[in-house]
Amino acid sequence: MIDAKKGVTLMQRRIAVLGALGLLALPAASRAATPPAPAPDVWPQASQVPGGIARVALGPAATRPVAHAQGTTGEVPLLVVGDTADWAALVGIPLSAAPGRMSISVQTEAGLRQLAYAVTPKKYPEQQLKVSPRTVDLSPEDLARYERERVHQASVMATFSEPLPGASALRMLAPTPGRRSSSFGLRRVFNGQARSPHSGMDIAAATGTPVMAPLPGRVIDTGDYFFNGNTVWLDHGGGLLSMVCHLSAIDVKTGDALKTGERLGAVGATGRVTGPHLHWGVVLNRTMVDPALFLAA
């Protein structure tokens, strides 16, 4: 007969051996769960699709590299973030971009080089909208007004200023609270006629709801535009801009410097709209990109 004390000792030794060999399954309650690694706090989120943002690694350099993308009218400066140990270029990808390889040029103290990145396809859904016929089939007068405004706003979108924002300061605040009523990239059909994809984010909110600066910025343009209605443009530096549209009130003027969360106007229904809401657009290197890439999920 085995001595009870000896039996316990043998059992303990057997458990120890099995455990060391990885053959002993402990109850779920006894196993310590390994927490998932936290997501890196990197903004904006990379999404190498049409309308997204590519984060192109540039490597270390003693001074900030100068990077450019090729635009329709020549080279366009890019926002470069990071530090001497690791720089990166943030590249806004046009909604019209075809999937495939694209490249940027980078100038450092070591010389000029080309770096490639890949754009993958993305299919955006379609949205049918009913609006005033005059905002779809434009009269000669309205068409002339739109063309003047298009040229002016293209010059606004070309703004590239310093100081450049830091990588740790690119997480944005939604400019107004509310439900996202229309997302970026939707193929929009107005009164049965296909038009350009939706180049911003629509947030449903009542007329008069405050609209705030999503990042620190300087007001570089305000106006009442045919399609966008009452609009404010903010320059955040380095070719990163925000615009908010369809406002019922504009509470700032060109040249004003705003902090994150500071009021600039109020939600409205001006311009081509189906009801009160805020249209929020984000521009990077003269390209409209998805604002959701700057927001926490």
Q: pLDDT tens digits, residue range 245-285?
A: 999 999 999 999 999 999 999 999 999 888 999 999 999 99
Q: Which fold has domain 53-119?
A: Immunoglobulin-like (2.60.40)
**CA gap 52, 122 in Å, rounded:** 10
Q: Average of pLDDT values for 74-95?
A: 95
Mean pLDDT in the chain? 84
**CA gap 8, 25 in Å, rounded:** 20
**CA gap 95, 51 in Å, rounded:** 4
Q: pLDDT tens digits, residue range 236-254?
A: 999 999 999 999 999 999 9
pLDDT of residue 19: 40
* pTM, entire model: 0.81
Q: pLDDT tens digits, residue range 128-169?
A: 666 666 666 778 999 999 999 999 999 999 999 999 987 778
Going by pLDDT thresholds of 50, 70 and 90, the confidence category of residue 217 is: very high
Are domains 53-119 and 126-294 of this chain identical in fold?
no
Predicted confidence (pLDDT) at residue 20 exceeds the cutoff of 50: no
Q: pLDDT tens digits, residue range 26-43?
A: 333 333 344 444 445 789
Residue type, 284: L
**CA gap 48, 94 in Å, rounded:** 10
**CA gap 185, 180 in Å, rounded:** 13
Going by pLDDT thresholds of 50, 70 and 90, the confidence category of residue 13 is: very low
Q: pLDDT tens digits, residue range 183-201?
A: 787 776 666 655 667 789 9
Pairing outcome for strands 126-129 and 187-190: parallel
Report which of residues 31 and 118 the model is more confident about.
Answer: 118
**What's the per-residue H, E or C state across the chain?**
CCCHHHHHHHHHHHHHHHHHCCCCCCCHHHCCCCCCCCCCCCCCCCECCCCCEEEEEEECCCCCCEEEEEECCEEEECEEEEECCEEEEEEECCCCCCCEEEEEEEEECCEEEEEEEEECCCCCCEEEECCCHHHCCCCHHHHHHHHHHHHHHHHHHCCCCCCCCCHHHCCCCCCCCCEEEECCCCEEEECCEECCCCCCEEEECCCCCEEECCCCEEEEEEEEECCCEEEEEEEEECCEEEEEEEECEECCCCCCEECCCCEEEECECCCCCCCCEEEEEEEECCEEECHHHHCCC
* CB-based contact 91:117 (threshold 8 Å): yes
pLDDT of residue 195: 60
Q: Which fold has domain 126-294?
A: Glucose Permease (Domain IIA) (2.70.70)
Where are the chain's structural domains?
A: 53-119, 126-294
